[in-house]
Amino acid sequence: MSWIDGGPTELANMTMLCGHHHRAVHSQRWEIEMRDGRPVFVPPATVDVNRRPRPGGKALPAQHREHLRDLIPTPRDPAGETCWARSEAAVS
């Protein structure tokens, strides 16, 4: 279940997609389910009237953890400072 629909925001509930396929999932209403650590893509009825699931590749979040950290923005407080910068300043 996507995070926007109440799914958990954790690596085990994520799969990496290129930009084209990410947009296709949202604009064409595909669904992605994780089964045994692998993504399964369920097409909309406009693509397959029976909505037969299509297996994806093996999800390897541990191999992509560092890359994902680089992509996720650093949290900021209301003053615009990064949270880690504020905590380091408090320690100094």
Q: How confident is the model at residue 39 (pLDDT cuts 50, 70, 90)?
A: confident
**Which has the closest alpha carbon to 33: 19, 11, 49, 13?**
13
Please calculate the CA angle 24-26-30 and round it to the nearest 5 degrees.
Answer: 75
Q: What is the mean pLDDT of the chain?
A: 76
Nearest to 12 by CA among 56, 66, 62, 57: 62
- What global pTM score does this model have? 0.55
Residue 89 has pLDDT above 60, yes or no: no
What is the tens place of the pLDDT at every residue in 3-17?
777 877 787 778 888
Is it the case that residue 26 has pLDDT exceeding 50? yes
> pLDDT value at position 50?
95
